[in-house]
Amino acid sequence: MFKLVNNLTYLWNKFKDRGNAEFWNSLEEELILNNVSVNTADFILSEVKEYCFKNSINSLNEIKNLIKGKIKEILECGNNWDIHINEKKPFIILVVGVNGVGKTSSIAKLAMMLQKEGKSILIAAADTYRAAAIEQIQFFGEKLNIEVIHHQRNSDPGAVVYDSIDKAFAKNADIVIIDTAGRMQTSANLINELKKIKRIVNKKNSRDPDEIFLVIDSNTGQNAKSQTEVFKEALDITGIILTKADSTSKGGIVLTIKHDLNIPVRFITYGERIGDISYFDPEKFVDLLVE
Amino acid sequence: MFEFLNSKFSDLFFKIKNKGKLSPKDLDDSLREIKLVLLEADVNFLVVKEFIENIKKKAIGENILESLTPFQQVIKIVNEEMTKMLGGASSSINFSQRIPTVIMLVGLQGSGKTTCSVKLASMIKSRYSKKVSLIAADVYRPAAILQLIDYSKKINCEVYHEDSNKNAVSISINGINMLRKSASDVVIIDTAGRLQIDTEMMNEVIEIKNKVKPHQIYLVVDSMSGQEAVNVAREFNDKLEYDGVILTKLDSDSRGGAALSINHVVKKPIKFASTGERIEDFDIFHPDRMASRILGMGDMLTLIEKTEKIIDEKKAKELEEKIYKSELNFEDFIDQLKSIKKIGSLEKVFSMLPMMGKNKALKNVNLDDKQLDRVEAIINSMTVQERRNPELINGSRKKRISDGSGTTVNDVNRLLKQFESTKHMLKQFSGGFNKRGINFPFPKF
C-alpha cells in the first residue's frame, strides 16, 4: 500500500499535462497493484473523480486529501477497535485462518501484548493436526511463562478447548487464547470442526468466544476476501489480524474486506520478534498510504 | 483451484456463446471482462495488460470476427495464450549424474516449504524409486526442525539435523557430506522462510547456494499470493537464480493468478503443485491442463491419470464384466469406495470434473467424506454371504447390520436402495458408453 505515497506525486507530474484520464487510470492501477479489488478501487476513485470534476479541483494536495478521506470513511477511522475485556472471566479469544498465515506466531505476540496489560493468560493448543504445532506454541509459552494446555497430537481439538476452559476456571485466568489448525475455507468438514469448537466454548462458558480473529497474510491477494466470507459466515468473526506487514506487500485487500464485508482489522504484526504487534491504527494506515 | 477463474469465464462465455458473430464491441466487452476476471484472480496488473493486448492482436489478426464460430475462436486464443503464460510444456526433474542430487527449497514465511519438502521427497521416492533424504536447515522458526522430522516419519526418510547448531550453512554442508555416505540419491534442503528484502537472510541462502551448489533450487509460492508475488519471485531470482516454482495450497478456492504472472515475468517453469493436506496431494504441474481447467473444462486429465494409477486394470475388466452381467455385489462396491478414497476427498474429485464451476446445484452440496465412512461401516457389518448376495438381507439382518455399524435400519435401507439403482444405472451405461462417446458440455475445437 505504501508505494502509493511516492507514486502519487510522480504520477501527477507525469500525467497532469496529458489530460486527467490517464492520471486516474494510473491511480487505479496503483490501488490494484496493492491488492485493493477492482470494485473497491473504482468505488474510491469514481466518487473522488466526480467531486473533483464538479468542483473543478485541480491540485494534487486536494485530490490526495479526498482519497484519504474516502479510505478513512471505509475503514471507519475514529471507531475504537481495541479489545475490551469484560468482567466475566475467562475472556475467550478464538484464532482461526488458512494454512501458513502465521496464526501461532500471532497468538504468541497477542498473548505477550495482553500479558503486558497485566492479564493472566492460558493458551489452548488446539492445532492437534500439524506436525510440531504443539511444540511450537509450547516454545512460546515457555518463553512468555504462559501455561499451554495441550493433548496428544491428532487428539480432538474440542477436548483441548474443553480442558483449557476448565483450567481457566480453576486458575481464575483472565484470558484463554485458542490456537487452531490452519484450514482452507473450501474444506467444509474442517470449517465445521471450528463451529464445534465454538459450540464447546458456548457450552462451557455460557457464551460464544468473546473475540474470533481471522488471521490474514499481507501477501494474500483477492482470495483473502473469500476466506473472510467463509469464516464470517461460519463463525461470525469479530476482526482480522493482519500479519507479515513487514513484507513488501501491505495487504490492501483489507480495504476491500472492510468495504464489502464490514470486518475490521484489529491487529497488525510486522516482524519476527515477539514484540512486533500492535493494535491496527487505521488513521496511521491511511496517512502512510497517501501522504 | 482456479474454480473462481473458472466460473467467471464460464459466465462470460455463456453470455456470448449464443451469438453467431461477434461485433468489434463484443470483442472489446469480452476482453474487458477477461481483464477483470484475471485481476480478481490476482494476475499481476502489468501481465494482464500484456495478455489482453496479445489476445486482441491475435483475434484481429486471425480475423475471428468474420469466422462463423467466433466464440470458439476466442476460447481457442485465450486457451493458447493462457497455456503460454503458464509456461508451455510441462517439465520434470533433472537428476544429477553423481549422487546425491541436491534440491533446495526457498520462499517466504508460511508458503509451505516444510510440508512441500516432505511431499516432494515422497513423490520422488515413489515415482523414481530413489533414496531421498532431507536436511532441516530452518534454524529460526520454533519447532520447524521437529515438524520436518515428525512429518517425514510418515514416508520413512532420513532427516539430517543438528539441534544445537544455529548455522544453516554449516548444517547444509555437514548434512550433504553425511547423506552422501548413506548413499542418498536425492537430498532436499528445507530452508527457513524469509522476506526477499531481508538482506541478512538472503545472504544466508546465497551462501548455502555457493557452498553446497544445489542442482536445483525451487521457489515455493503460495497460490493465494497477491500482486506482489511477481516482485518476490523476481527478487529471489535475481539473488538465487532458481530453476522452478512449486505452487502450494491449490486446494483453496480459485486464484493462483499470481503464479501465472510469476511464470510470465520470471520465465521459470512451475514444476510442481501441492493440492491438499495429505502427503500424496502433490504432483507435477501441467500447464496445459490448468489452462483447460481455467476455461471451465475441468481437470479431467488429472482425474483420469489418478484413477488409472489407482484402479488396477484387471480388476476394472472384471468389474465391467460383472456390471454387464448384473452380478455386481457389495464386495465390488467396497472396492470402488476404497479406490475413490485413494484419489482424494470427494470434494477434490468433484472439483476436477468439468463445468462444476457452473453447476449451481452442486455449489452448496456438502460433500461429506464421513458418509463414505458410514457406507463402509455398513458393508463391513454384513456377512460375506450378504455382501455377495444382497437379496438375502431381510428385516432381522438389517437390524443386526445397523446395530453392528452404529447406524439405523433406515440408513441400511437407503444404502440397499442406492445400490440397486446404481447397479441398474451402470448396466445401462455399460452398453453404449463408448459408442456414443462422453458428451462434454463444451464445444470442441
SS (H, E, C) A85-145: CCCCCCEEEEEECCCCCCHHHHHHHHHHHHHHCCCCEEEEEECCCCCCHHHHHHHHHHHHC
For residue B29, what is the domain's CATH number? 1.20.120.140
A224 and A168 assigned to the same domain: yes
B414 and B326 assigned to the same domain: yes
Among B39, B58, B85, the domain boundary falls at B85
Domain count within chain B: 3
The verdict on residue B444 lying in a domain is no
Q: What is the ipTM of this complex?
A: 0.88
Closest CA to B201 of B273, B293, B138: B138
Whether the CB of B228 is below 8 Å from some CB of chain A: the reply is yes
For residue B268, what is the domain's CATH number? 3.40.50.300
A56 and A180 assigned to the same domain: no
**Is the model's pLDDT at A290 over the cut of 80?**
no
pLDDT of residue B295: 53
The verdict on residue B316 lying in a domain is yes
A18 and A134 assigned to the same domain: no
pLDDT of residue B432: 39
The verdict on residue B79 lying in a domain is yes
**Is the model's pLDDT at A8 over the cut of 80?**
no
Whether the CB of A112 is below 8 Å from some CB of chain B: the reply is no
pLDDT digits 0-9 by tens, A98-155: 999 999 999 999 999 999 999 999 999 999 999 899 999 999 999 999 999 999 999 9
B272 and B344 assigned to the same domain: no
B250 and B351 assigned to the same domain: no
The verdict on residue A210 lying in a domain is yes
The verdict on residue B127 lying in a domain is yes
> Residue B47 belongs to what domain range?
3-85
A98 and A22 assigned to the same domain: no
Pick left, alpha or beta for residue B231 (phi over 0 → left; psi -120 to 50 → alpha; otherwise beta): alpha
Among A19, A49, A75, the domain boundary falls at A75
B133 and B179 assigned to the same domain: yes
Q: Do A33 and B44 touch (CB under 8 A)?
A: yes
For B:399-428, CB contacts with A below 8 A are: none
B213 and B280 assigned to the same domain: yes
B150 and B262 assigned to the same domain: yes
The verdict on residue A84 lying in a domain is no
Q: How confident is the model at residue A65 (pLDDT cuts 50, 70, 90)?
A: confident
pLDDT digits 0-9 by tens, B161-201: 998 999 999 999 999 999 999 999 999 999 999 999 999 99
Among B58, B85, B112, the domain boundary falls at B85
The verdict on residue A111 lying in a domain is yes
B267 and B329 assigned to the same domain: no
A206 and A272 assigned to the same domain: yes
Whether the CB of A233 is below 8 Å from some CB of chain B: the reply is no
**Is the model's pLDDT at A2 over the cut of 50?**
no
B261 and B346 assigned to the same domain: no
The verdict on residue B93 lying in a domain is no
B107 and B245 assigned to the same domain: yes
For A:9-48, CB contacts with B below 8 A are: 29, 32-35, 37-38
A130 and A196 assigned to the same domain: yes
B208 and B250 assigned to the same domain: yes
pLDDT of residue A149: 96
Alpha helices in chain A (DSSP H): 3-15, 20-33, 38-54, 60-75, 103-116, 133-144, 157-171, 188-205, 223-235, 253-261, 282-289
Domain count within chain A: 2
The verdict on residue A82 lying in a domain is no
The verdict on residue B445 lying in a domain is no
The verdict on residue B136 lying in a domain is yes
Whether the CB of B161 is below 8 Å from some CB of chain A: the reply is no
B44 and B139 assigned to the same domain: no
What are the φ and ψ backbone dihedral angles of B43, each rounded to 5 degrees?
Answer: -70, 140
pLDDT digits 0-9 by tens, A36-57: 999 999 999 988 888 888 888 8
Instruction: Specify the DSSP element, H or E, that contains B409.
Output: helix B409-436
What are the φ and ψ backbone dihedral angles of B44, each rounded to 5 degrees?
Answer: -60, 140
The verdict on residue A250 lying in a domain is yes
- Residue among A138, A223, A247 whose CB faces B224 most closely: A223
pLDDT of residue B334: 78
The verdict on residue A130 lying in a domain is yes
pLDDT of residue A53: 82
Q: How many CA atoms lie within 13 A of B254 on its CB side?
A: 25
A212 and A178 assigned to the same domain: yes
In this prediction, the residues of chain B whose per-residue pLDDT falls under 50 are 1-5, 296-298, 300-301, 354-364, 430-445
pLDDT of residue B331: 80
3-state secondary structure of A8: helix
- Residue among B197, B249, B370 whose CB faces A99 most closely: B249
The verdict on residue B90 lying in a domain is no
pLDDT of residue B85: 76
**Is the model's pLDDT at A286 over the cut of 70?**
yes
pLDDT of residue B293: 56
The grid cell for B281 is 496431494
Percent of residues, chain A, with pLDDT higher than 70: 92
- The Cα of B68 is separated from the nearest Cα of chain A by a number of Å equal to 34
Whether the CB of A238 is below 8 Å from some CB of chain B: the reply is no
pLDDT of residue A78: 72
For residue B406, what is the domain's CATH number? 1.10.260.30
A202 and A176 assigned to the same domain: yes
DSSP string, B6-71: HHHHHHHHHHHHT-SS--HHHHHHHHHHHHHHHHHTT--HHHHHHHHHHHHHHHHHTTTTTSS-HH
B271 and B209 assigned to the same domain: yes
What average pLDDT does range A17-23 have in this prediction?
A: 65
Q: Do A219 and B232 touch (CB under 8 A)?
A: yes
> Residue A133 belongs to what domain range?
91-289
Q: How far apart are CA B232 and CA A100, in angstroms?
A: 17
The verdict on residue A152 lying in a domain is yes
User: Among A191-195, A246-250, B97-101, B427-431, which is the least confidently predicted range?
Assistant: B427-431
pLDDT digits 0-9 by tens, A203-240: 999 999 999 999 999 999 999 999 999 999 999 999 99
